[in-house]
Structure 1
Amino acid sequence: MGLSQRLKLRMRRFLQRPGTTVDLAPLEKHLPRIDALEEELEALTDEELTERAGEAEGYVEICAVGREAARRALDQRPYDVQLVGAMAMLDGRVAEMATGEGKTLAATIAAYGHVRAGHGPVHVITVNDYLARRDAQWMEPVYTLLGLTVGWVNESSSHDERTEAYGCDVTYVSVSEGGFDFLRDQLVTDIDERVQRPLATAIVDEADSILIDEARVPMVLAGGVAQARNTKHAAAAKLVQMLRPGRDYEIADDNRSVALTDTGLARIEKKLGGVDLYDGANAEQLSLINVSLHANVLLKRDVDYIVRGDKVELVDEMRGRVAQRRRWPDGLQAAVEAKEGITATAEGEILNTITVQGYIALYSTVCGMTATAVIVGDQLREFFKLEVAMIPPNTPCIRDDEADRIFAAQAERDEALVAEIKACHEAGRPVLVGTLDVKQSEELAELLRAEGITANVLNAKNDDEEAAIIAEAGALRAVTVSTQMAGRGVDIRLGGSKQVDYDAVAELGGLYVLGAGRHDSRRVDNQLRGRSGRQGDPGGSVFFVSLEDDLIVRHAPEAIPSMPRMSMDGLVEDEQVDFAVEHAQRVAEGVAHEIHRNTWRYSVVIEQQRQQIAELRERLLTTEDAADLLMDQCVKADDIERDVLVQAGRAIALYHLDRAWTDHLAELADVREGVHLRALGRLDPLDEFHRAAVPLFNELIPAVEQKTIETFEEAEIDDDGWHPEEGEIVRPSATWTYLVHENPFGSELDRLIAAVGRRLSSSR
């Protein structure tokens, strides 16, 4: 039984209860006192306000001064609910604030408060570079009036620009760039080369996306020589592409695993010259065939990835946009590149790595904001010890959220969806359609063109244009088709960005949000709905669902009656089906939660070891520990000037420590792959991983000390210092960073085990 099938069985009884929220009454009691300070602060000059900002203490003064600074700098007076959201973040909570309720400004006041409380520097962690730059520049006048400095970092920032940005009181940075900078700082040989200061406070934007959806994603710093693997994968791709479904391979019911049939295996083995792929000597070849089969059969272009130029770019399933600098592990990336006829991208050896969850956990204080936190409240508490504060909207939401319209077949669903869009377009009402992937967005746009409707399409292929497209999605007669709206970061205003037709659009019912199928996560659907009904605007939403949708086929096929009740117009009207759709989403969320929990259990021991290495490295970099070791162990050290000894010992010890950690990570990767085989012997893979990982680490530091001594004994050191000979100390000439996309089909050995299991089952 495959991993996803086991999880599915475990999660059939899963009922995810909403996370509880903290009581807001203790925070709301401060509002009258904040209001009372307003008249006093209004009488101050800008210079006096800045001086007052530098002396403010406590929630009342922080919020009152922050409100006045925002009013003057942006001509925006924060609502009471924004101040409550800021106070919740100052309390170390995740504030759930609906779309359009002003989270960015609330976070600015919270950042100011954390700095005043001595919790700085503050990093505002965003989902992408665009939002980091936009929000920093947008809020800069407020920070300036508050007497604070603000900076931002993106992928193109130079070393000096990063150092300057991180030197500010508040720094806006995407989670990946912040993580990569942390990893690079862990490899410096001179403390002045660092760009970051100690990690103090993180305010996490789109907190559920970063802390839950991306939490288990490893960020990688790589170096060395790129591995040229494309030739082998290209040959495997050619073999796999000649196979036929049903005859040569079978796809599992959940569409998440595929395996060769006996016929397909025989064809491959014949093409390879009659080899036995299940002979241990041919394990590498079998792995190549297996991973190539998955890449060619299960990974879909314009769904899981796009091809742009000469690159395969992965698509973030939660946001429907390109996942920047992300790649699949276990040879799957190279297999997809071979499938598309693209030269393999560099991978190199891993110098250091940390998961998003591990990186965020390094901050002394963590808080955040998002429009959809309550659903994952239990997970935020489990993984980060964070509580959710549910902030009420400033103006009650009057959006009309209709019940799902469910159809038996996708073709019927799409026909009804196009008809609904056409009717709205003819009336002038703006429509925003959320699709599940790039392919679906383009197919829907083509159907609309056939009806004479030109839609603005926003997907992973044109994400650079997203701000302009989203800003006009509320204009009269606008039709916008977008892959998911999570993290898009731009408000949709009725009547367009300048709201010239606000009254006309409002009269028509406001922005109409249509979902072309349910996502695996209710949060993503809720984020799509939340684009309508902003700040009390009229609006509406409805999801068009098909019983052929992947979500239902994978997670609730047994819950669908064989003959559901249907109306004359093709709509399914059956309470059992309504339950099945909701059940499928909850099971999908439960499976994701279980995968997160299991993945993190493996990561915990690696993160603990990384922290121990980091502490040792910090001592080597900032103290004379290495020189003291050499003085104790090497007679030669007595004849060397102390300054020279410190310099030589530090350089040699840092090199061997970094080299040992790189080798250790490679060993752990091999161990983690291998322990899955032990599951066949009914051993717990996690226990086996720990049983192997701990002794390996215990040997690491003594080995580093011994190699440091040996290198020092052999090194030529004179009064001018130590200058290693060529090849004596080799550090990567170049490094690069990437994120490892969660492998949707398990590791190579997971796939191998599944293939072996199927073969054994079929032979019985």
Structure 2
Amino acid sequence: MLGIGTLAKKVFGTPNDRKIKATRPLIAQINALEPEFEKLSDEGLIEKTEELRKRALDGTSLDDLLPEAFANVREAAKRALGLRAFDTQLMGGVFLHQGNISEMKTGEGKTLVATFPAYLNALTGKGVHVVTVNEYLAKRDSEWMGKVFAQLGMTTGVIWSGQPDAEKMAAYQSDVTYATNNELGFDYLRDNMKPSLDQVFQKQHNFAIVDEVDSILIDEARTPLIISGPAEDRSDLYVTIDKLIPSLSEEHYEIDEKTRGVTFTEEGNEFLEQQLIAHDLLEEGASLYDPESTTVVHHVNQALRAHKLFQRDKDYIVRDGDVVLIDEFTGRMMAGRRLSEGLHQAIEAKEEVKIQPENTTLASVTFQNYFRLYDKLSGMTGTAMTEAEEFAEIYGLGVVEVPTNRPIARKDEDDQVYRTAMEKYQAMINETKKAHEKGQPVLLGTTSIEKSELLSQLLEKEGIKHNVLNARHHEQEAQIVADAGRLGAVTIATNMAGRGTDIKLGGNVEFKVLEAIAQEPDGDHAAIRARIEEAHAADEEAVKQAGGLFVMASERHESRRIDNQLRGRSGRQGDPGRTVFYLSLEDDLMRIFGSERLDKLLSTLGMKEGEAIIHPWVNKSLERAQAKVEGRNFDMRKNVLKFDDVMNDQRKVIFNQRREIMAAEDLSEIVADMRHEVIDDLLDVHMPAKTYADQWDSEGLQQQVREKLGMDLPVVEWTAEEGVDDEQIRERLVDASDAMMAEKAEAFGPETMRNIEKQVLLQTIDSKWREHLLTLEHLRSVVGFRGYAQRDPLNEYKNESFQLFENMLDSLRETVTQQLALVRPISEEEQRQMLMQMAAQQAEMQKAAAGATAAAAPVEEPAPGFVEDDPSTWGNPSRNDKCPCGSGKKFKHCHGSHA
């Protein structure tokens, strides 16, 4: 008897069926236009593009232009490549334009499908990005499909790592740009470290079509993109904190050897607070629990771990003044490996060797948050349905299963389960021999390189010639995959291999045609294709007679999607084919699934060595186990994203602010507002509301006005005047500071002053944002412990990171005001030195942004007029400013410590 759900589907059709049905009238419209577009000359196709572009810019919706645009692309592809798009390819293009994921089986021509929505959306002049998994495919697809866009009068660009800036800028300005997900993400981060708008590559994020969308938006989205550079040298901080640890007694901390964890007790925290205040690492009255204390607390925790958990000559050795880690499993030294988050530096401080600087995050973004910047996003893959929930929840993308051009004739057999891995491999080799003898091409899928090599050795013993695929050379990989469908071919591939190129029976015609055209560029392309297709037809028929491509998998992956990808290599475009999974009780998934029960069952059944259990129930049970693992992985990715979303809101604010500053002609109003807010803050601290004049801290205010506003004003005398109130003091300070800045603007000239304001603002935002990122990293590493106190770590992170962000903005206002107050016209010699210094700093930033390993920042020149033994020549730096001697250290840790 049919269930209610099944019955409803029979009557109403599935939601997927209804979406397919809704596109049929559109496809009929496009097909009806074909004769009309066939009559157009080559120039006529380009004229049609201009007409459609004008209509799009005049306000006609892209949906209304779709039939004509798709008809134009189909005709251009026929002329440029000799390929006429199937109706199912047009259907896939419609779903992409609507902002969905088109799930299209392997061999259905996804590369061509992307040209339809790319062309339609590029008519607006806002650019379209087509995203691929590697640079080889980006270059190949841009050259191949670039012919179609050229036929239509549109430009195509391609992005790759290490590309000269001028080329990259031109590529981004093309109508359609092909690029990898990594390079797009890194360019976005680099753009937000640029000093001016004319150097920015990605002007807008209009529409992205992501090929292999499951790989990019799910598999690769586990780790964020990070640009890092050398951190400010904080050797003094590590050394000072290190000296505190030996003074701790046993009641100050608890060690958990099982988890290799160590935590401070309440007594320890109280003792630490006193010590940190005494050593000037915490402000008087501050607590370890304040958000501002996160970084210091993090480093104290790392110092405690270095002393109590890491033992010399067991966990590490000191060799030639370096701390070298020891692998706990092999006992070997791990030269070059370093512990992260300041732990290695804490051990170096403990051992009193030279402390190497940490790397600091200059900018970071997750793929989830990068791709959500696009106004419209879509994707293509052969396997997305199993992750439909994640695509919908994280990216707002629907998944539509596009029907195949021809019915699938592939035979998917039930899994075969053996007791041991060697029995399984032997069964695969025996089956490969049988297929090879009759000329049937075989693809052996494995989950790791080691297993590929083991199968390769077994095939060599049997004298079977074969190819082994790995990820080292994408171009070589594509060539091997293209040949994997030849008569009698045997290919071993890891799961990640073979993407982007079809396995076609008898070999890949497109590869042969491209090779032939490359040799005869001026030849008749249609004639070359006809010649090669004729020679290929006999080979293809022979392979079909042998049964088509036979895919054997050596185990199930923890994700059903990866298994489906491997299966989909066989039976493309209605070809015959066969797939089977060979499993053993020693496989990872089988162990998780509970192989002990199965092992007992197999023993009870009296199974002999080399025999397999084959039953549909085994398949169903394994798929349930896979679904559970997929759900767990989704939850983990969701949790990482929740934390990144908090930072992403702040990132967007800072990056947008940066762009507005770069675009603005005159920032004097913003700078003046910042200065006035700093004055308000100073008055709130030193002359609080509803207090009497004798309670005011007039001397403190006068000192702060000198430090923060660069003005020596008689504030103490003002406050002593009869009847003066805080509002009058505020007016005097505002008027005096405005007058001082107006004088500076006159001395420098308005244009120079505007430029100085812009550069000071940008540099301060960048340095404050980097410090903030580091503090957030430290907060993220310690906030998990709040769970033990029944507090939600995510809420704690949200609240504290928001407070830290507000503090950062306050600090930004202060620093900008202070730096502009200290600016003065300088001599030509001073100007030359300053420009050299700025050029060196800018080069350092660009080097890090380009992904190079940046060296430690050079020691700076002393401030003009600085005399070591004469404090009157040092200016008035605040405690946290860089020391005027040029050491690069903070004033309080350098000359200020003995001033």
TM-score range, shorter chain: 0.7 to 0.9
Counterpart residue number, 1:611: 652
Contiguous gaps of at least 5 residues in structure 2: 1-13, 53-63, 236-257, 262-299, 317-323, 346-355, 510-535, 676-736, 853-899
Task: Find 1:101's aligned residue among 88, 105, 108.
Answer: 108
Q: Which moved more, 1:687-696 or 1:359-368?
A: 687-696
- Once the two structures are superposed, the pairs formed by residues 190-589 of structure 1 within 5 Å of their partners are 190-224=196-230, 282-284=304-306, 348-485=359-496, 488-498=499-509, 499=536, 501-554=539-592, 556=594, 560=598, 562-564=600-602, 565=605, 567-568=607-608, 569-573=610-614, 577-589=618-630
Letter in 2 for 1:40: E
**Are the equivalent residues in 1 in contact too, given 2:560–2:623 (CA < 8 A)?**
no
Q: Could you tell me how far apart the structure 1 residues matched to 2:582 and 2:343 are? A: 34
Q: Deviations over 1:97-141 (max 9, x none)?
A: 11110111110111001122x273100011111111110000111
Counterpart residue number, 1:622: 663
CA separation of 1:120 and 1:728: change in aligned 2, threshold 3 A: closer
Q: Could you tell me how far apart the structure 1 residues matched to 2:357 and 2:151 are? A: 46
Q: Deviations over 1:483-529 (max 9, x none)?
A: 11467101111112344621111111011111111111111111111
The number of aligned residues is 647
Please identify which structure carries the higher helix content: 2
Task: Find 2:810's aligned residue among 685, 702, 720.
Answer: 702
Task: Find 1:663's aligned residue among 758, 762, 771.
Answer: 771
Q: Could you tell me how far apart the structure 2 residues matched to 1:195 and 1:547 are? A: 53
Task: Find 2:180's aligned residue among 174, 178, 182.
Answer: 174
Task: Find 1:40's aligned residue among 25, 36, 42.
Answer: 36
Q: Give TM-score, length-normalised by structure 2.
A: 0.67
Counterpart residue number, 1:243: none
**Are the equivalent residues in 2 in contact too, given 1:152–1:172 (CA < 8 A)?**
yes
**Are the equivalent residues in 2 in contact too, given 1:555–1:587 (CA < 8 A)?**
no
Contiguous gaps of at least 5 residues in structure 1: 1-18, 230-257, 262-277, 300-306, 313-326, 335-344, 740-764
Shift of 1:30: 1.4
Task: Find 1:163's aligned residue among 162, 169, 176.
Answer: 169
Q: Which has the higher contact order (CA 8 A, sep 6+)?
A: 1
Shift of 1:410: 1.2
Shift of 1:59: 2.0
Q: Could you tell me how far apart the structure 2 residues matched to 1:295 and 1:400 are? A: 52
Q: Secondary structure at the match of 1:24?
A: helix
Task: Find 2:49's aligned residue among 31, 53, 70.
Answer: 53
Letter in 2 for 1:642: P
Q: Could you tell me how far apart the structure 2 residues matched to 1:99 and 1:152 are? A: 24
Q: Could you tell me how far apart the structure 1 residues matched to 2:339 and 2:186 are? A: 18
Letter in 1 for 2:804: L
Task: Find 2:786's aligned residue among 670, 678, 698.
Answer: 678
Q: Could you tell me how far apart the structure 2 residues matched to 1:596 and 1:462 are? A: 30
Q: Give TM-score, length-normalised by structure 1.
A: 0.78
Who wins on radius of gyration, i.e. which is larger?
A: 2
**Are the equivalent residues in 1 in contact too, given 2:415–2:618 (CA < 8 A)?**
no
CA separation of 1:738 and 1:369: change in aligned 2, threshold 3 A: farther
How large is the Cα RMSD of the aligned pairs? 3.6
Letter in 2 for 1:584: A
Q: Deviations over 1:605-660 (max 9, x none)?
A: 01111001111111221115643244453443202122111100111111111011
Letter in 2 for 1:545: L
Counterpart residue number, 1:735: 848
Letter in 2 for 1:591: R
Counterpart residue number, 1:302: none
Counterpart residue number, 1:31: 27
Q: Could you tell me how far apart the structure 1 residues matched to 2:329 and 2:115 are? A: 44
Q: Could you tell me how far apart the structure 2 residues matched to 1:519 and 1:556 are? A: 16
Q: Deviations over 1:272-302 (max 9, x none)?
A: xxxxxx9985413677789999995799xxx
Q: Deviations over 1:503-561 (max 9, x none)?
A: 11111101111111111111111111111111111111111111211123235557746
Q: Which moved more, 1:345-354 or 1:189-198?
A: 345-354
Q: Could you tell me how far apart the structure 2 residues matched to 1:456 and 1:227 are? A: 51
Q: Could you tell me how far apart the structure 2 residues matched to 1:23 and 1:217 are? A: 34
Q: Secondary structure at the match of 1:353?
A: strand
CA separation of 1:279 and 1:179: change in aligned 2, threshold 3 A: closer
CA separation of 1:681 and 1:357: change in aligned 2, threshold 3 A: same
**Are the equivalent residues in 1 in contact too, given 2:548–2:578 (CA < 8 A)?**
yes
Shift of 1:367: 1.0
Report the identity percentage. Answer: 35
Q: Which moved more, 1:174-183 or 1:554-563?
A: 554-563
Q: Could you tell me how far apart the structure 1 residues matched to 2:850 and 2:628 are? A: 34
Q: Deviations over 1:310-369 (max 9, x none)?
A: 999xxxxxxxxxxxxxx99769999xxxxxxxxxx9983211111001110111111111
CA separation of 1:486 and 1:81: change in aligned 2, threshold 3 A: farther
Shift of 1:597: 1.0
Letter in 2 for 1:435: T
CA separation of 1:23 and 1:708: change in aligned 2, threshold 3 A: same
Q: Deviations over 1:49-90 (max 9, x none)?
A: 211133245221111111111111111000000001111111
**Are the equivalent residues in 1 in contact too, given 2:315–2:328 (CA < 8 A)?**
no
CA separation of 1:63 and 1:463: change in aligned 2, threshold 3 A: closer
CA separation of 1:712 and 1:718: change in aligned 2, threshold 3 A: same
Q: Could you tell me how far apart the structure 2 residues matched to 1:372 and 1:406 are? A: 25
Q: Could you tell me how far apart the structure 2 residues matched to 1:37 and 1:463 are? A: 40
Q: Deviations over 1:390-418 (max 9, x none)?
A: 11000111011111111122121111112
Q: Which moved more, 1:716-725 or 1:423-432?
A: 716-725
Counterpart residue number, 1:87: 94
CA separation of 1:458 and 1:259: change in aligned 2, threshold 3 A: farther
**Are the equivalent residues in 1 in contact too, given 2:49–2:153 (CA < 8 A)?**
yes
Shift of 1:738: 6.6
Counterpart residue number, 2:798: 690
**Are the equivalent residues in 2 in contact too, given 1:220–1:738 (CA < 8 A)?**
no
